Amino acid sequence: MSQNNNNPAPMRLTSFVTTDLCGITRGRSLPESEVAEQLVTGCGWVPANSALTPQDIIADDNPWGSHGDLRLLPDPSSRVRLEYGPDAQAAQLDYLHGDLVTTTGAPWPVCPRTLLREEIARYRELDLQVTAAFEHEFNLLGLADEHAAAFSLQAQRQTGNFGGWLMSALEQIGAEPEMFLPEYGRNQYEVTCRPTQGVAAADRAVNVREVTREIARQFGWRSTFTPLLAPGAVTNGVHLHLSLQRLDGTPVFYDEAAPSNLSKLAEHWAAGVLRHLPALCALTAPTAVSYLRLKPHHWSAAYACLGLRNREAALRICPVVEIGGKPKARQFNLEFRPMDATASPHLAMAAVLIAGRLGMQQELPLSAVTDVDPHSLSDAQREELGIKSLPGSLEEAQRLLLADSELCAQLPPALLQTYVSMKRQEQALTRELSEEQLCESYAKFY
């Protein structure tokens, strides 16, 4: 777009972004006309930024201090360009996801996107590809304060054509939107997109959040993906649907003859996730407000168990639809539920994949399977089935993570150290807050 003084117009900017360890997308912008040139070298970045808490405080004891320089190297295949929306005057949204690298171009071990890419490569070495979709629930703030019943057409209509704009924006950026729906809670909505492969699945999770925020902003509203808007509200989850295929595309989670259709490989994978699940929560449900969600009867999961179509189970075998002769093996997937939008999608997906890979490599036997509400079982019954409770607080989750030496050994030491110092700082910042204050502040951050 040309600019001159007679016809002033905002310069078109393109951003290079990284979604950091606390799941916040940060970056720098440059003139669009210079993007091609800058693709090779990226833009500058600061190591200590990786120790930023959601409160924007850099952790005191982070390993980086004021030293060092990095490059944020954009991935050309990840570009998002949103050209239109309900407010025709709004600036276009244009960004590329990037990896953090050293000034010589070597991978930087604290980058969550690099961690995910490297984990996907480990799956490829096992002749496996990863297909994933993140489902997002969120609240819209600023709607007229009218009662609209759960899941009702009225709840959808009270947003006017927000859903339509959101879906068209997601389609325009290539996120393959599937469904927009009013959820159970007041002013709570959900948006789902088709699964995609590898790192692009976590990039897509970020894109869904950023585009939802952008469309809400253009409507004069705000969206929040916080796990709990206010004490007593209905929780917002991020559910990660995963399936594996051979590199030639053959699905490997499904076995027509097996109980619950779970193949042996899928059993080992699920067993690995369940074994590491209490510790995984430190990475997938990583804030104090996450633990106001991970409670029984929130359909969010409070126990490490696998259930067939059971929404109280941390790992759920999703239904396949047989109507119209749709092939079952391609639909079959497992859903990881103890996740929320305060987690980095790249880090959380990498962590779940690591746990599943360990399960496959060690051929772990599957236990902790139940089709009843695990909370309705007695302690003795849960123990007999091998069902562990998920952590009840961020402190407990952090302790369990550090106690899971097998899982920790799979994470780059610098990433783990930075993450732990950042989370300790965050705990110190939130320890004294009431539930109301906690909900209120995280609704702003996410």
Q: What is the full DSSP assignment across 336-373? A: E-S--TTS-HHHHHHHHHHHHHHHHHTTPPP--B-SS-
CB of 55 to ligand GLU, least distance (A): 23
Q: How many Cβ atoms are within 10 Å of 350's Cβ, its own excluded?
A: 26
Q: Is 50 left (phi over 0), alpha (psi -120 to 50) or beta?
A: alpha
Instruction: Name the one range near ligand GLU by CB under 6 A: 47-55, 163-171, 243-251, 298-306.
Output: 298-306
Q: Which stretch binds ligand GLU (CB under 6 A): 72-80, 93-101, 196-204, 294-302?
A: 294-302
Q: How far apart are CA 186 and CA 149, in angstroms?
A: 8
Q: Binding to ligand GLU by residue 237, rule CB under 6 A?
A: yes
Matching residue, tokens 């952590």 = 391
53 binds ligand GLU (CB under 6 A): no
Nearer to ligand GLU, 241 or 298 (CB): 298
Instruction: Indicate whether 295 belongs to the interface with ligand GLU (CB under 6 A).
Output: no
Residues 6+ apart with CB under 8 A from 65: 48
For 151, the token pair is 């899941």
How many chain residues touch ligand GLU (CB under 6 A)?
Answer: 11
107 DSSP β-pair partners? 101
Q: Which residues, in sequence order, are bridge partners of residue 193?
A: 177
Kindly state the DSSP code that residue 223 receives in the 8-state scheme. E
Question: What mask of x and - would describe binding to Mg ion in positions 173 to 192, judged by CB under 5 A?
Answer: -----------------x--
**Alpha helices in 219-344, H assignment, sequence order:** 264-284, 290-293, 328-331
Site for ligand GLU (CB under 6 A): which residue of 293, 346, 423, 424?
293
Cα–Cα separations (whole angstroms), residue 33 to 42, 101, 417: 14, 24, 39
Q: DSSP letters along 70-116, please?
A: EEEEE-GGG-EEE---SSTTSPPEEEEEEEEEETTSPBPTT-HHHHH
- Closer CB to ligand GLU, residue 293 or residue 357? 293
Q: Does 192 bind ligand GLU (CB under 6 A)?
A: no
Q: Which is nearer to ligand GLU, 47 or 391 (CB)?
A: 391
Query: What is the smallest separation between the CB atom of 293 and Mg ion, expressed in angstroms?
Result: 13
Mark 137-176 with x for binding to Mg ion (rule: CB under 5 A) and - for no binding. Answer: ----------------------------------------
Closest residue to Mg ion in the complex (CB): 190
Instruction: Pick the piece of the chain touching ligand GLU (CB under 6 A) from 68-76, 103-111, 296-304, 369-377.
Output: 296-304
When the beta carbons of 238 and 353 are compared against Mg ion, the nearer one is 238
Which residues, in sequence order, are bridge partners of residue 307? 316
Q: How far apart are CA 354 and CA 305, in angstroms?
A: 18
Cα separation, 167 vs 155, whole angstroms: 17
Shortest Cβ 347–ligand GLU spacing (Å): 19
221 binds ligand GLU (CB under 6 A): no
Query: Which of 57, 299, 396, 440 touches ligand GLU (CB under 6 A)?
Result: 299
Stretch that binds ligand GLU, among 166-174, 231-239, 242-250, 341-349 (CB under 6 A): 231-239
Nearest by Cα to 181 from 205, 207, 155 = 155
Site for ligand GLU in 116-155 (CB under 6 A): 137
Answer for which of 50, 78, 224, 300 binds ligand GLU (CB under 6 A) is 300
Q: Are 197 and 113 in contact (CB under 8 A)?
A: no
Nearest distance in Å: CB 191, Mg ion: 10
Which helix (DSSP H) or strand (DSSP E) does residue 170 occupy? Answer: helix 162-172
The binding site for ligand GLU (CB under 6 A) comprises 137, 234-237, 293, 298-300, 311, 337
The binding site for Mg ion (CB under 5 A) comprises 190
